[in-house]
Amino acid sequence: MNEPELLQRLRNADSNEAWVEALAAYFDSHGLVFGHGTDNAADEAFWLLRHLHEWRDELWDTPPDRSLLDPLVDLAVRRVRDRRPLAYLLGEAWFAGLRFKVDERVLVPRSPMAELIERRLAPWCELEPGDRVLDVGTGSGCLAIAVAVHCPGTLVDATDVSADALAVAAENVAQYRLHDRVRLFNCDLFPSEAARYRVIISNPPYVPVSEFESLPPEHAHEPELALRGDATGLGPTLRLLERASEYLLPDGAMIVEVGDGAEALTKTHPRLPFVWVEFGHGGHGVFVIAASDLRRREQGGSGSGEQ
Ligand SMILES: C[S@@+](CC[C@H](N)C(=O)[O-])C[C@H]1O[C@@H](n2cnc3c(N)ncnc32)[C@H](O)[C@@H]1O
């Protein structure tokens, strides 16, 4: 479907549902790749229109607002022409039921960990007010802020090596007025300030170098630092595993996303008892590991044995 055909279909449509169908058909006809907040053309089309409605529910059942035709087509055409993720075109992403400001300085939030956070990390942890949480590689701040919002009273530290990413995270912290509970640190993995956390969460970069170049064009708009791991993709995760116990309370736990690296990690660390989280809304490759198991490994006990 070309642009004039899209325009024609939108002009002939008499409902917002029909607009979404037309947009979805346009997206599908151009072979877009989804996965930056949606996983299909219809959801992406719905998101685009709802954004232009400023998420006002009452506008859904009214006839389509013709004044939105130009911005709608403009955004749809740019999505197809530039293969830029819709989140960047709109400057917003939704994560754990919350809206975040995003731009090309940060990964588009999409971790399946949203589901865990929305249920306050149950059954893996019971976060209480006053508990401290560390988010390593915070990007937009989505995990850190979602924890602070969904687990009231928790104190969250969030780190990133990218000062650019932290500038976006700071905007999101301000948006949710969380200055008193979410602190941002520009550092490599762990903050220098001595602290012990109940939970460490992280979605580190984990795409192996060999796969990075062949990612769909949408990913080229995201920061390389957010996606590209080392040769195996597991480098940042291995560094986290090595040092996390220094920063965890004895009964704490670490939750890390490694995506397709799950199999390799299990193979190289056969005696570390990773628990792989099962998600109801899709996603995989997230493990939970207890601080006690990390500590046993250091002491050469039952958790050790991996290379
Ligand atoms: C996959 S993105 C995750 C962003 C965000 N947590 C999310 O889930 O959307 C990884 C983030 O880790 C940051 N990062 C990469 N290496 C790091 C390191 N050694 N220490 C701290 N942050 C790092 C990147 O800049 C990027 O923002």
Q: Is residue 128 part of a domain?
A: yes
Distance CA 242, CA 239 (A): 5
> The tokens of 259 are what?
């995506």
Q: Is residue 304 part of a domain?
A: no
Assess whether 284 and 163 both reside in one domain.
Answer: yes
202 CB near ligand 1 (under 6 Å): no
33 CB near ligand 1 (under 6 Å): no
**Which CATH number goes with the domain that contains 290?**
3.40.50.150
Is 127 within 8 Å of 242 (Cβ atoms)?
A: no
Assess whether 102 and 212 both reside in one domain.
Answer: yes
Assess whether 11 and 83 both reside in one domain.
Answer: yes
pLDDT tens per residue across all 307 residues of the chain? 999 999 999 999 999 999 999 999 999 999 999 988 888 999 999 999 999 999 999 999 999 999 999 999 999 999 999 999 999 999 999 999 999 999 999 999 999 999 999 999 999 888 999 999 999 999 999 999 999 999 999 999 999 999 999 999 999 999 999 999 999 999 999 999 878 999 999 999 999 999 988 999 999 999 999 999 888 899 999 999 999 999 999 999 999 999 999 999 999 999 899 999 999 888 999 999 999 999 987 776 544 344 3
Assess whether 157 and 188 both reside in one domain.
Answer: yes
Assess whether 128 and 222 both reside in one domain.
Answer: yes
Assess whether 231 and 150 both reside in one domain.
Answer: yes
Assess whether 68 and 112 both reside in one domain.
Answer: no
Domain that holds residue 21: 3-90
Helix axes 235-247, 291-298, angle to 10 degrees: 100
Q: Is residue 277 part of a domain?
A: yes
pLDDT one-digit tens code per residue, 50-78 = 999 999 999 999 999 999 999 999 999 99
CA angle 155, 96, 132 (to 5 degrees): 15
Distance 241 CA to ligand 1 centre (A): 16
Using CA positions, which residue lies closest to atom 19 of ligand 1?
Answer: 188
Distance CA 211, CA 111 (A): 19
What pLDDT, on the 0 to 100 scale, is given for residue 302? 42
Boundary (domain end) residue, out of 32, 63, 90: 90
Strand positions, DSSP E, the chain: 92-95, 98-101, 132-136, 155-160, 182-186, 197-202, 248-257, 275-276, 286-290
CA distances, 1 to each of 28, 41, 89 (Å): 9, 14, 21
Using CA positions, which residue lies closest to atom 6 of ligand 1?
Answer: 138
pLDDT one-digit tens code per residue, 2-27 = 999 999 999 999 999 999 999 999 99
Assess whether 80 and 146 both reside in one domain.
Answer: no
Assess whether 64 and 110 both reside in one domain.
Answer: no
Domain count, the chain: 2
Residues with Cβ < 8 Å from 12, sequence gap 6 or more?
Answer: none
236 CB near ligand 1 (under 6 Å): yes
- Record the pTM: 0.94
Assess whether 68 and 107 both reside in one domain.
Answer: no
Assess whether 127 and 59 both reside in one domain.
Answer: no
Is 177 within 8 Å of 104 (Cβ atoms)?
A: no
User: What sign does the CA torsion over 174, 176, 178, 184 have?
Assistant: negative
Distance CA 292, CA 302 (A): 11
Among 144, 125, 118, smallest CA distance to 133 is for 144
Distance 112 CA to ligand 1 centre (A): 15
Q: Is residue 307 part of a domain?
A: no
Distance CA 250, CA 240 (A): 16
Q: Is residue 159 part of a domain?
A: yes
What pLDDT, on the 0 to 100 scale, is given for residue 305? 41
Boundary (domain end) residue, out of 34, 55, 90: 90
